[in-house]
Amino acid sequence: MKLKSVSIKNFRCYQDEVTVAFEDLTTFIGKNDIGKSSVLEALEIFFNNDTVKIESGDACIYGADKRITITCEFTEVPDTITLDAGAETSLAGEYLVSAAGTLKIQKTFDCKGTKPSEDVTLLARHPTAPAVSNLLDLKEKDLQAIVKERKLEVALKGNPGMRRAIWASEPNLKLDEVSIPLSKGKEDGKRIWDQLQAYLPLFALFQSDRDSKDSDGEVQTPMMAAVSQAIAEVQEEIDGIQKKVREKAEAIAHSTHQALMTIDPNLASELTPQFTAPTPAKWRGLFSVNMETDDGIPLNKRGSGIRRLILVSFFKAAAERRLASGDRSRSVIYAIEEPETGQHPNNQKILIDSFKTLADQEACQVILTTHSPGFAAELPVESIRYVTRGANAKPDIQSGVDVFDHVATALGLVADSRVKVILCVEGPTDVTALKALSRALNQGNAMLPDLHVERRVAFAVLGGSTLQHWVTNHYLRELGKPEVHIYDSDVAAYAASVAAVNARTDGSWAAQTNKLEIENYLHADAIHEAFGVVVGVPDQLDAAGNAVPRMVSLAIHAANPVMAPMKDSNIKKRLADLAFPRMTAQRLAARDPAGEVSGWLQRIAAML
């Protein structure tokens, strides 16, 4: 499951309910003490209640109500759940999803006492007709009685089947969104919650101001997150162990009862074991990971910048591991406060790239907070959530194009005055590809610009940008700088845009690629070195009608069938990050003997 949104009410500064939507990568930007960390900590309380625990003082001081609600909405819900042996059902079949098919789980914390109590409910479009509104609360014998009363032809064993038959017999279910108790529910309500917890994303929070002690800090938390992932991956084996333990315990209890009956039948007519299996949190508690650096020095004794570099290693390793395994058994959410703290700009760039790579994986989401202009400038604009205070001094979380100028002003982002040319492309992967190709050509001909380091050329990504690109484009547009537009030729409609740019008289020009897409300029050797697969790169589509990204995805899947073919957006990102940097001037010459790419760079060089 993936987190779609969280709604927070009466939690700290969020007195009124505020809903935040999440992307694969989501970034909170705002002043100190504005409410950014509270969102991350609300999620930690919802998922774990461990690194940050709910306290009575977390209830908003401005309201009389001492109940806090945290509601998470999820997409990609499980197709089936098993309540008990042979009782397989689905959330949709039990009317436990929203009208949009999402899963909404609400946790309510009553903070009136010294220790807050927790209640879990589902917000779902559920039958409200009086005769059938409480079927989840009924025991098997109660459902059997209704089935017999309505003379329904359904097996009198298995609660899900009987509920479906009863609901089907009701002429008007009167479906409406209601709260369905789980943690305190009867019968299958509690079982459903037990099952759902195994599907919830793993949530790992990395705070910027944690203590530095042997068992904590930038080492233990990511390592324990890795332990949590490992436990999730062997959950089937753990379930098997728990099943065997339960069977043995029940057998011992049965034999004990039989022995007791032979001694005195009046002592106990029934002896039923109440088996409680360890929760995932207790399994995690069985493991601990400690790390030492050179000369046996504990990592927590090193400088704060070095300690936080563990985050770089952890996220890079996590991304590479997921890329290699294709594991999608359970999604993971990494929430990191101010990851740039104590880091050199070069390391910040490594962090950003690691987060982007991790967020590109289908089973991962990344949530960040930041104050750094340089860090924020490299982030996708759709990931930005700007936290500010409204006229009533209450926190407000904004997104969309209207907030970009506010964010730019708040962080001090301005256009680089050295820029002479704006290079407009379709997407972020085109930026990465052109930078790699220009670097390869520059090494053989220093007269051609290396777009990695050439500050007189600013990229503007027209089909989805980073904040830096948006700011640069927004401000330089007013300066009247000439523009260069390079588009793929796979969209015929771009021809009109190219013609319009070429009709200008300000020195701007545009071109479409002779080949289908920028990926068609890759050499097969670069792809093989990056992914270990052999793909014959055509100039257009292959015989099956596939573009190069799809061809590579299918080749990777064929070489490793356990990995599902990747989405086009993900494989394009991987080609940009891994294959294009392996291009050389010789390889590009083999793929582009007419010198089309070097021709673009020559024209750009003449404009500088």
Alpha-carbon distance of 324 to 313, in angstroms, equals: 16
Per DSSP bridges, beta strands 395-398 and 332-337 are unpaired
- Is residue 457 over pLDDT 60? yes
- Is residue 453 over pLDDT 70? yes
- Is residue 217 over pLDDT 50? no
pLDDT at 118: 93
Note whether 180 and 135 are within 8 A (CB).
no
Summarised one tens digit per residue, pLDDT across range 538-577 is: 999 999 999 999 999 999 989 888 766 777 778 898 999 9
Cα dihedral sign, 323-325-327-333:
negative
Higher-confidence residue of 360 and 104: namely 104
Alpha-carbon distance of 343 to 306, in angstroms, equals: 8
Note whether 486 and 430 are within 8 A (CB).
yes
If you average pLDDT over every residue of the chain, what do you get?
A: 83
**Strands of 384-389's sheet, edge to edge?**
202-206, 332-337, 364-370, 25-29, 384-389, 395-398
Alpha-carbon distance of 123 to 108, in angstroms, equals: 12
Q: What's the rounded mean pLDDT across residues 212-230? A: 55
Note whether 217 and 209 are within 8 A (CB).
no
Given 172, 187, 204, the domain boundary residue is: 204
Q: What percent of the chain has pLDDT over 70?
A: 78
User: How many domains are there within the chain?
Assistant: 2
Distances in whole angstroms, Cα of residue 216 to Cα of each of 46, 301, 339, 483:
21, 12, 17, 51
- Is residue 330 over pLDDT 80? no
Q: Does residue 28 fall inside a structural domain? A: no
Report residue 202: phi and psi, to 5°: -75, 135
- Is residue 392 over pLDDT 70? yes
Model confidence at 426, in pLDDT bands (50, 70, 90)? confident
Model confidence at 521, in pLDDT bands (50, 70, 90)? very high
Three-class SS of residue 374?
A: helix
Q: Which amino acid is at 38?
A: S
Model confidence at 219, in pLDDT bands (50, 70, 90)? very low
What residue spans of 217-326 are helical by DSSP H?
217-233, 235-263, 280-284, 304-325
Positions of E strands within 377-464: 384-389, 395-398, 421-425, 457-461
Given 204, 233, 249, the domain boundary residue is: 204
Higher-confidence residue of 309 and 419: namely 419
Helix (H) or strand (E) holding 133: none
Report residue 271: phi and psi, to 5°: -140, 100
Per DSSP bridges, beta strands 509-512 and 2-9 are unpaired
Q: Does residue 252 fall inside a structural domain? A: no
Q: Does residue 210 fall inside a structural domain? A: no
Cα dihedral sign, 280-286-289-290:
positive
Taking CB atoms within 8 Å and a gap of at least 24, the contacts of 131-136 are 131/170, 132/166, 132/167, 132/170, 132/173, 133/178, 135/163, 135/166, 135/167, 136/94, 136/163, 136/180, 136/185, 136/186, 136/187, 136/188, 136/189, 136/192
Q: What's the rounded mean pLDDT across residues 176-202? A: 82
Summarised one tens digit per residue, pLDDT across range 227-286 is: 777 777 787 888 888 888 888 877 877 777 677 667 666 655 665 666 677 776 677 677
What residue spans of 340-481 are helical by DSSP H?
345-360, 373-377, 404-411, 428-444, 467-476
- Is residue 63 over pLDDT 90? no
Model confidence at 399, in pLDDT bands (50, 70, 90)? confident
Note whether 93 and 99 are within 8 A (CB).
no
Beta bridge partners of 106: 71, 121
Q: Does residue 298 fall inside a structural domain? A: no
- Is residue 430 over pLDDT 90? yes
pLDDT at 496: 87
Q: For residue 162, give the nearest of 180, 178, 139 by alpha carbon.
A: 139
pLDDT at 190: 78
Q: Which residues neighbour 58 within 8 Å (Cβ) at sequence distance 6 or greater?
A: 11, 12, 45, 68, 109, 111, 116
Higher-confidence residue of 260 and 58: namely 58
pLDDT at 436: 95
Q: What's the rounded mean pLDDT across residues 578-589? A: 96
Looking at 297-311, 444-458, 580-594, which range is the least confident one?
297-311
Model confidence at 607, in pLDDT bands (50, 70, 90)? very high
Summarised one tens digit per residue, pLDDT across range 355-382 is: 887 787 777 899 999 877 667 777 777 7
Looking at 138-142, 179-183, 401-405, which range is the least confident one?
401-405
Q: What percent of the chain has pLDDT over 90?
A: 43
Please give the model's pTM, rounded to 2 decimal places: 0.69
Q: For residue 206, give the nearest of 334, 303, 322 by alpha carbon.
A: 334
How remote is the C-alpha of 178 from its chain's centroid?
Answer: 28
Alpha-carbon distance of 483 to 502, in angstroms, equals: 10
- CA angle 450-452-457, nearest 5°? 75
Number of residues that make up the chain:
608
pLDDT at 296: 64
Alpha-carbon distance of 359 to 128, in angstroms, equals: 40
pLDDT at 465: 52
CB atoms within 10 A of CB 437: 26
Model confidence at 492, in pLDDT bands (50, 70, 90)? confident
Helix (H) or strand (E) holding 559: helix 548-559
Beta bridge partners of 344: none
Note whether 96 and 34 are within 8 A (CB).
no
Domain with 50 in it: 2-20+41-204
Model confidence at 214, in pLDDT bands (50, 70, 90)? very low
Q: Does residue 388 fall inside a structural domain? A: no
Q: Does residue 51 fall inside a structural domain? A: yes
Model confidence at 43, in pLDDT bands (50, 70, 90)? very high
Alpha-carbon distance of 563 to 553, in angstroms, equals: 10
Note whether 432 and 580 are within 8 A (CB).
yes
Q: What's the rounded mean pLDDT across residues 188-193? A: 77
CB atoms within 10 A of CB 67: 16
Looking at 274-278, 585-589, 592-596, which range is the least confident one?
274-278
**Strands of 509-512's sheet, edge to edge?**
457-461, 421-425, 483-487, 509-512
- Is residue 474 over pLDDT 70? no
Q: Does residue 455 fall inside a structural domain? A: yes
pLDDT at 12: 93
- Is residue 324 over pLDDT 50? yes
Given 176, 204, 232, the domain boundary residue is: 204
CB atoms within 10 A of CB 199: 17
Model confidence at 126, in pLDDT bands (50, 70, 90)? very high
The token pair at 408 is 């730019």
Q: Does residue 390 fall inside a structural domain? A: no
Q: Is 479 exposed, middle or buried (0-12, 13-18, 19+ CB in 10 A)?
A: exposed
Alpha-carbon distance of 579 to 566, in angstroms, equals: 16
